[in-house]
Chain A
């Protein structure tokens, strides 16, 4: 069955460092991959989308890579800030209406 794996352990980093989150998937050929941010008790907020034919996408302090051979995406936050502390969700889609979400990785940025 289709599966998305994100590190279930929380990631703790110091302010100013780069946070790197991983998303691995199996039994799926996605047309695109999305990253969302979710704060406690709130709905997710869209951050970035990268398509299968793209290797890297950037938006301000965010960078996403997508390796369809390794079936992996890396999500980087450079110059991290305490305000970046949240849960980050990876999501895959095949171009239709259904999107598969990972369980997310919790990020804590210490001042």
Chain B
């Protein structure tokens, strides 16, 4: 089955620790995205990548880092510099420029203890 996967589904982290969220797609999409969703708010863009080995900051990139070494993979690291990391994180991919539909993964819920 073609699709986009995220792991783990639930993640718990102690304050001061870095944690990496996985995102993999087998849709052969060039573009990939990371969003954060908080209750009562729209999805906010953290980082996006248009092509392998290239990525751009979104609206709330501070405290996060990404890499895009392979077309199918776009991991997100939540660093200890992120002041309020508890949230639902969504990864998405699309085939090209923005008017193409975005395919979302199932999400990772991160809780900082």
Question: Footprint of B on A, CB under 8 Å?
Answer: 4, 8, 31-32, 34, 41-46, 49, 51, 89, 93-104
Contacts and interface: CB of A to CB of B under 8 A. Distances in A.
B25 interface: no
Given A42-B106, A43-B105, A45-B104, A102 B99 contact: no
Interface of B: 31, 33, 35, 40-45, 48, 50, 56, 58, 90, 92, 97-99, 101-107, 109
Given A43-B92, A89-B42, A95 B104 contact: no
A49 B107 contact: no
B43 A98 contact: no
Contacts of B42: 4, 89, 100-104
A99 B98 contact: yes
Contact of B107 (A43, A95, A96): A43
Given A43-B90, A103-B40, A51 B106 contact: no
A80 to B, nearest CB: 23
Contact of B99 (A95, A101, A104): A95
A94 B106 contact: no
Given A44-B104, A98-B45, A49 B90 contact: no
A49 B101 contact: yes
Contact of A32 (B90, B99, B103, B107): B99
A41 B10 CA distance: 11
The 7 A-B pairs with the shortest beta carbon distances in the complex, nearest first, are: A43-B104, A46-B101, A93-B98, A101-B43, A101-B42, A103-B42, A32-B99
A95 B35 CA distance: 18
